[in-house]
Chains A and B, each alone.
Chain A
Amino acid sequence: MSAVFAKLALYLTYPFVRYALIVGVLIALCSSLLGVTLVLKRFSFIGDGLSHVAFGAMAAASVLGLTSEMPLVLTVTVICAVLILRVGQNAKIKGDASIAMISVGALALGYMLMNIFPTSGNVSGDVCTTLFGSTSILTLTPKKVRLCVVLSLTVTAVFILFYNRIFAVTFDEGFATASGTNVKMYNLMIAVIIAVIIVLAMNLVGSLLISALVIFPAVSAMRMFRSFKSVTICSAVISVVCAFLGIIVSIIEGTPVGSTIVMVNVAAFAASCIAGRYLGGV
């Protein structure tokens, strides 16, 4: 056991490991905050859809040879988030179908771009990295770390400030509109925040596994707690703890970061199901 700690202590002296932990924990925090809202609004798959869009944009950015892909990816993802929400209100194409269309389209486009204009000799390696985020969390530059920190703190601050309104809009859009809340604006805000979170989380778990980061902590928390505030706080705690443990385990055992974090989340969900039984939650 002490050998493990010695190994851990050694790794923690490397800046890239510290960066990974800081960024990982912050991303886990903000992705869990809106998870509760998304799950309750039956929007669980918006994260999945948007992450594929982000994948497509990432591919386009690397084909264009941009040194920093973040601005382009962020812009495209935000636009698609707004589009999905708008289309969701239009009865002609139902919400889930529109998400599926945009996400699969973007996924196909991204893969095609990466194949037609390969930027390195190892296309399947590149694709795998973007989809499963295998190493990107360990190759963060200080500049990217700063950007991640600023963005995730902004997301958290916005969420806390608008917490009551987000609650009202999630629980009952009709009532919120009738009592003078600008529901459209808040839905738009939620969409933009989701897009930011997705782009951030791509670094951590890759675009295929992002939904897990958004959904698992929220669903686990809902198993155990019964008020919105305690569910939100609990889901943030679960998410942060799981991300931290996942990163540590993956560093020590050499497993892929993204899938390790998700597996820890799955275990946490199983544990909360059992805990929920005994706590009497539903």
Chain B
Amino acid sequence: MALITCAGLSLGYEGREIIKDLNFTVSGGDYLCIVGENGSGKTTLMKTVLGLIPPMAGSVVMGDGLKAGEIGYLPQQTQVQRDFPASVREIVLSGCQSRQKGFFYKADDRALADRNIERMGIKDLRDRCYRELSGGQQQRVLLARALCAAGKMIVLDEPVAGLDPRVTAEMYRLIEDLNKKDGITVMMISHDIGAALRYASHILHIGRRVFFGTKEDYMSSVIGREFISQGGEDR
């Protein structure tokens, strides 16, 4: 059974429908990229899958032992976070929240946080203040936090927005490693159609026209060929 099955999903906010009757599934080990024009509802879709906003119609069903709260989420950064006085470790630890039974973190929560800090290669930044880090370092911190919450799946909203090309490539490599080596299912919003085609196994294109399928099918489809030939600039 698939990790996530969306059936007949309609999305929107304030009563305005932006996506109608959307169907797709995410299975274990998939690397799904969501592409589409600006304003096509990519972030709204992601928030609906995570249960942050209710769908206007249709359903999101989690299966294969995946529970709500077990998905690691890497949201777009907010203004509040940019000048937040918190150490890297405090932020990564807050990812253990969903496993937390009592009021305080236990030794295994701390160990998990430290493991994920190491996994992201930011061990030497552990006690640094979040707001003093570079954009790429901040994204690694948030990814480490997401991994603390994630059992099987991470969901990323434009993880490379605002990063320079070298850091972007490193970020993509990290995510690819998580997918290939650790078998973590990835669902990612991307503006970068080139990277989406390079790394993803499946593509979900939303907008006026909708496509869902493997990367290979997308590249040979009409909608995919058009979007790619415009360099994903159909915005």
Contact = CB atoms under 8 A, between A and B. Distances in A.
Interface stretch (B17-25, B68-76, B165-173, B219-227): B68-76
Contact of B73 (A162, A167, A174): A174
Contacts of A228: 84-87, 90
Contacts of B50: 177-178
A226 B85 contact: yes
Interface in A129-169: 161-165, 167-168
B86 A179 contact: no
Contacts of B97: 164-165, 168, 176, 179-181
B26 to A, nearest CB: 15
Contacts of A91: 14
Nearest to B78: A172
B68 to A, nearest CB: 6
Contacts of B132: 226, 282
Nearest to B129: A226
Interface residues of A, number: 30
Interface residues of B, number: 39
Contacts of A229: 87, 90
Interface in A197-237: 222, 225-229, 231
B191 interface: no
Given A172-B81, A174-B73, A179-B95, 14 more contacts: A40-B80, A40-B85, A164-B103, A174-B47, A175-B94, A176-B94, A176-B97, A178-B71, A181-B98, A226-B128, A226-B129, A227-B86, A227-B90, A228-B90
Top 9 closest pairs, chain A to chain B, by CB? A180-B69, A226-B129, A227-B87, A178-B73, A179-B98, A179-B149, A228-B86, A168-B94, A178-B50
18 contacts: A91-B14, A163-B103, A164-B100, A164-B103, A170-B80, A171-B84, A174-B75, A175-B75, A175-B149, A178-B51, A179-B71, A179-B98, A226-B131, A227-B127, A228-B84, A228-B85, A228-B90, A282-B131
